[in-house]
Amino acid sequence: QVQLQELGPGLVKPSETLSLTCTVSGVSVRSSYYYWSWIRQSPTKGLEWVGYIDDSEATKYNPSLESRATMSVDTSKNQFSLKLHSVTPADTAVYYCARVVNSGWHRWFDPWGQGTLVTVSS
């Protein structure tokens, strides 16, 4: 059974860097069939895709966040991570990590982690 679990700081000050880690169990993050993604949800914006990292460690980000987001993979720990730089209160959200299943002509998110709330405030 594949499971994902987010770990985050809870509270981040404006202008600082938000760092999140997702620990994956039940499948290797090196698997060729899957990508790994972050999705966030705020009360004002609903679900917003942040980005993904694929099996060759290439990344793709939401254009609205591309200048501030960095994703990476740690295969030794079977984890992947997100860093979001220069955060503002608008980045306050529940952050979910999710596996991206890639069928070749379609991709979908399954499963998702439980989510971790990150609040940006001084």
* Paired tokens of 34: 């899957």
Residues 9-38 that bind other proteins (CB under 8 A): 37
Separation of alpha carbons 114 and 67, rounded Å: 27
Residues 50-89 that bind other proteins (CB under 8 A): 51-52, 60-63
SS3 63: coil
For residue 89, report the phi and psi dihedrals to the nearest 5 degrees.
-55, -25
Binding window for other proteins (CB under 8 A); candidates: 14-22, 23-31, 39-47, 78-86: 39-47
Of all helices (H) and strands (E), which one includes residue 69? Answer: strand 69-74
CB-wise, 10 or 63, nearer to other proteins? 63
User: Is position 112 an interface residue for other proteins (rule: CB under 8 A)?
Assistant: yes
Q: Quick one: which of 32, 76, 105, 121 contacts other proteins (CB under 8 A)?
A: 105
